[in-house]
Structure formats: structure tokens, C-alpha cells
Amino acid sequence: MNIPVPLRFKGAPGSPYTRKMLALLRYRKIPYELLIGNHTEETTLPSPKVSLLPTFYLPNDGGELEAVVDSTPLIRRFEAAFGERSVIPSDPAMAFINYLIEDYGDEWLTKAMFHFRWYYEPDIEMAGKILPRWQSLNASDEDLLQMDKFIRERQISRLYVVGSNDITAPVIEDSYLRFLKIMDTIIEKQTFVMGSRPGSADFAFYAQLTQLAKFDPTPAAICLREAPRVYAWTDVVDDLSGLAVEDDGFLTRDEARLTLGDLLAEIGRVYVPALLANAQALQSGDDTMETEIDGRAWTQPAFPYQGKCLQWIRGEYNALASEDRASVDAILAGSGCEDLFED
């Protein structure tokens, strides 16, 4: 189905998924109109079932406008509608690897983003001052103080939802540091995670880094100190509209084995056990998932959406032809990611 342009969507600078889609649309040269805001304003636009940012306003099968959220399926929908400058490798095995890495960026790295922002006082102060002003530049100082107080209290009280607490903080922070060093090594060799051209996984990483590396003081200082190349990469990926794209610019299967091993091992080290423990908790009807990640205890509320993430990853894997699945198995071998597909 054709999608009219410019694409209209609502988002905010402090929303990593808004930034993900903005950068991707710029790279793909798809015209858009960004409506800065959230879902509290009066509007004639349709409301999403879940109030998330970004929210795109797209025609449904009947031609009526509907509110659509969730960046990963939106990216695939836009792949079908707009042919140029794809962010999904044509090789099915590499498309799966890209999908898995994108999911790690969206669902694990965001734990670091939320943790740093609402765990450390300088970051809380920064977010409390700026997030309300991103919502409303014209609000009075009195109203902004109330918004600041409300946002701080709500978000700090929700740290437990992503598993952030005094016990898990070292797991999250150590994983962030390893990620930065792995990214630094990758982009020194090939510019993007998925090769000489970006995949959707690159935009997932960029999204979280717009906050971790460029906004929140504590993780930004870590990035600048430990991986200045990644700090600079985040600025570059912001607008890739002028990037010349090579048809064969995505990694081959053999190149992926050589280049992505450390990244896939990191995913297997932290994200895979979280996904599996969450799925077990949901299956057992438990409200809380308890497991061990990187040798340390991890507890957080069971999260139905990440249960769906695991189902979708397995669905993508099972949809592969046997030869392609064998290639994926070879790329993932020894990383810990293969545990996702064991019975």
C-alpha cells in the first residue's frame, strides 16, 4: 500500500526512538513532518492504543488515518513502501543478524539510558530542567517547576521497571562501557555496524547514544573519555542524507563472523539471559523475573513486551530457509545468542 509523503509523526528530542526514526528518514531521503510534543495536547489526530513516541499517522487498509507506534515494524513497513537506500540487508541471514542487533539496541541499551538519567543526581538535574522545556518552550517558570517535580518523581519511581537498582547498577554500567569499546573497534574498521552503509541496527544504537553520549552528563562523560570515536559517530549518523551508498555495502556472512563476534558475545552475555528469564517468568505467571546476568543477581518486573520481542526474534529465525539458518548458527556460534533457539 502506498504511503503518502511527507510522513507526519509526533515525537520529542529526548525520545531515543524519535531520534532513531528521524535519522533513518533523513538517510533514506523520505520526506517528513515532525510534530514536537506528546499525547497530552488537544489534537484532531488519532490517538495510539499506547501513548508512545514517536507516533506516526498513516493510512490503514480503509484509507483512514491511524496512529502507529513501534519503530522496528515501522521501519519494515517503510522498506516495502520506499525502495531507495534500504536499511535491511538483502541477504536473509544478514537481515536476521541486523534484526537481532537492532533489538538489543532498542531493548537493552535503553536500560542504560534510563538508568543513568534517573540514577545519578547530575543527570536527574539535567533531565528535570530540559525535558519539560522540550515539551513546552512557552510554559511559565512556575509551570516548569511543577513539570520538573512531576517528571523526576515519576521516572525515578520507575527505575525498578528496567531493573535499575543498587545491585544491578554495576551490570548495566559495565555493559555500557564494554559496548562503547566494542563500537569503537567496529567503526574504526568499517564506519557502521552493518558495513560501509548503515542498517537499522545502526540507527537503534544511534538512538540510545543521542541520549547516553550526547545529553545525559554521566554516560556522556564516560563516552567522551573512553570512546571519543563513538561520541563523534553519533553526530555523523544524525544526518546521513549525503552518504553515497554502495549496493554491496552490507557485511557478508564471512565478514560478520570476523567483525561482529565481540558485539554478539556482549548480546549473549547480558541481553539473552534477560530475555530468557523474562519469558520464563511470563510463562509461569510470575510478576517478577529473577536471574543472574554477568555473574550478578538481576531482578525486575516481568515485561510482556519483551516477551513479544523474544517471540518475534524466534519468528524471524524460524522463517529462514535451512541454509540461511545454518549460516546464522555459524555466525552466532559461541556467542551465547544461540541459547535463544534451544528447546
Residue 47 DSSP class:
P
How many residues make up the chain in this entry? 343
How much is the pLDDT for 40?
65
Q: What is the pLDDT of residue 314?
A: 98
Q: Please, where in the chain does CATH 3.40.30.10 lie?
A: 7-81
Q: 291 pairs with which residues across the strands?
A: 298
Residue 223, pLDDT score: 98
State pTM to two decimals.
0.96
Per-residue pLDDT, 92: 98
Supply the angle between the helices 304-318 and 272-284 in degrees, to the nearest 10.
110
And the C-alpha cell for 275?
530475555
| pLDDT (0 to 100) of residue 247 | 87
Unique residue bearing C-alpha cell 514517536:
54
Instruction: Please give the grid coordinates belonging to residue 152.
Output: 523526576
- The pLDDT, as a whole number, for residue 343 is 64
pLDDT digits (tens, 9 = 90+) for 15-58: 999 999 999 999 999 999 999 987 666 678 998 988 899 999 99
CATH no. of 7-81: 3.40.30.10
Grid coordinates standing for 316?
A: 524471524
Q: Yes or no: say if 227 and 184 are a contact pair by the CB < 8 Å rule.
A: yes
Q: Is the bond preceding 6 in cis, omega lying within 30 degrees of 0?
A: yes
CA-based radius of gyration for the chain? 20
Q: What pLDDT sits at residue 17?
A: 97
Give the residues of the chain that fall short of pLDDT 70. 1, 39-42, 343
Distance of CA 245 to CAs 21, 87, 330, Å?
Answer: 19, 11, 28
- Cβ contacts of residue 45 below 8 Å, gap of 6+? 10, 57, 65, 67
